[in-house]
Structure 1
Amino acid sequence: MMKEFQWKTILKLSGEGGSITFLGKKNEREHWIYKRNINEIFSLEEMDDHPPNVEYQPSKTIKKLKPTVRKSNEATHWDSARKMIEEYPLEYLKPVHVHPEFAEKVWDIISTKKLPKHRLKLWVKACFPTTTNEIFELFYALTKSKHTVVLTGAGMSVESGIPDFRSPSGWWKNIDPLTVATVEALEENYDLFYEFYSVRINTLKGCEPHEGYRILAKWERSDLIHEVATQNVDGFHFKALSNHVDELHGSILTYRCHQCENEASRDQFLNKESCNFCNGKLRPNVVLFGEALLEKAWNNALNHIQQADLVIVIGTSLQVYPVSQLPKMTNGKTVYINKEVSEFQSLFDVKIEGSARDTLIAVDQLIRS
């Protein structure tokens, strides 16, 4: 006996005067076929209201409300179904239901339309019901901004396996940074300094940039973001193929002599060798506590932020001066993303408490670039 397949609602739209339903079902070859039903609730049908054998008088013609349903021919490909959907002014119709299996296909259609914000939000909620208001606000701001800057901190790299510093369970809970990540430690307690940074360097060996990093790089290529300023020293933005990156605190991937500033190799530092030129102590090219930020990186980041329509801050507690002041330097919209959001971040326009990676994935789902 041949299996009977049931029609399912792919998309239902409502408007003044009725609804439009697009249906789909799989055939015996597991291929989808589609059709359209139009329910014109307030369709007007002229009815003659005069007795038989009486001369017809047009003035006595009345109009009665009569529901009608019109069906379309069946379509065997999504492209044909899409054309049926796009025949209608979607900007004026309300989505009542979107089948989860077709959410991305429907959203592909809607993302090409220039819908006002309130109607676009209805479609986002219909296609992706778990999308929060905050995620929508970030998505909308990102698509409208002409100049967007992203500022990242340690929380961005936590999901790649890099230990955080300032969370309750971070390294700084057990190690006072003022005793190790300083010029004084480098000069007076080099063994501790070396041990701290060699562990960090070796930790990077088994870590890769997570999907959030790759999304930021993709947004850069799509001209959605124009600058990344980062407090991180792990090089993950570059590794994920972002190009416009300013490393405000330097890089743990390159090395030099602290005394004469000649370049050194990673192996030289990890082998605890001395400088080949002056026998000085080797160090990573990171900014230590008490040292000035890299002037070129700082000035470039500041310039971009002052131009920005949108500044997105991700995974930083903003407790380190002067980077903590950067979000205050913009007149644009500000968004804060972190696993922990406190009253300290109350001045941001949008606050998203949660995973950096998951948040960026959720926003990217709405971006069709």
Structure 2
Amino acid sequence: MVKERYKIDGFLVFYIIVAAQVGVGVLGFQRVIMSKAGYDGWITIILTGILFHLAIYIIYSILNRYKTDVIEIQRFIFGKWIGGFINLIIAFYFLYNSVTVLTTFIEVIQVWMFPTLSSWVLGFLFCSLIYYIVSGGFRVVTGMCFLGFFITIPLILFLLFPLEYSDFVPLLPIIQKPIGSIVGAISDSMISFMGIELLLIFYPFIKNPEKSQKSAQFGSLFTTVLYLLIIIITFGFFSEDQLERTIWATLSMFKVAEFSFIERLEYVTVTVWVFVVVPTMILYLWASSRIIKRTTNFSQRKVIICLLLIVLISIVFINSRIEINYLNQAVNYVSFYLIFAYIPILFILSKLFYRKYRRTMK
């Protein structure tokens, strides 16, 4: 059981979901979706958002039934050893996600700001900051998500500048691509929406968690609307050929905004985006360390140090665009099967085993 003083209010789940979903992927997700769905990519965003709303409902159905996190649920359904093994796989999944987020963002910093700065230097600075935040506990992690939301939300206004040079005629007629291509692009958009699976771990840290689903749904809705706004502006600003050659489309659009007192607005954007990337990473690393602590009984602080060392070593060896692209593709596919295959299976199993669980708890 989690002590009351370590819990957060239900409305803060909104900020956690937004922080988990809106990460480094928002800086360049458009090109990947365009490659499959063309100008109908905005439909893919809507479909993906709807699926994630359904996934949040399924996750809460599982957790509300058992009143605990997925760590305990999997132990009960699959047994101590198999359940523990599955828990460690999920912990590795969260660790893998954190490596992907940080390596991708370090590439952004090197490309746009400091091309000669070593990856391990940036990695060490980020890992030191992450350790300081995660070691403070889940309430501190939540506070960082809350702070990051209000610091970065004004950046959305700068995306209105490209509207002056946009042409939305190419978006018509609707459904230019085959339906299969539009639906098939959902798996490529997963990295932009993933993060709701963290609910499986931090659910016990919410006060009256059964009532927090509305906040989680609003958080996912905010993410969907944000991505929809960005991708429509992008499709109006770039031609299809231009977008195919632009890796960081969102950052490129920030260059359109001009102010007499700021020469390179994208520098400011990348700097402020630290408050987006760091909350995403601390959530994943906190979840990974929490699972390992509950499964092995190791101290969470010692676990987080080991995880950060793995992240730092990974950054040193993964530094090319091809390798980073492979990381992102792998995360897309793994998160797709976790959220839309394993979680529904767990939902069915949780219903089948619930009567036995109630008898055990009496």
Q: TM-score range by the shorter chain?
A: under 0.3
Give the strand-richer structure, 1 or 2.
1
TM-score (norm 2): 0.25
Based on CA coordinates, which of the two structures has the bigger radius of gyration? 1
Q: Larger relative CO (CA 8 A, sep 6+): 1 or 2?
A: 2
Give the helix-richer structure, 1 or 2.
2
TM-score (norm 1): 0.25
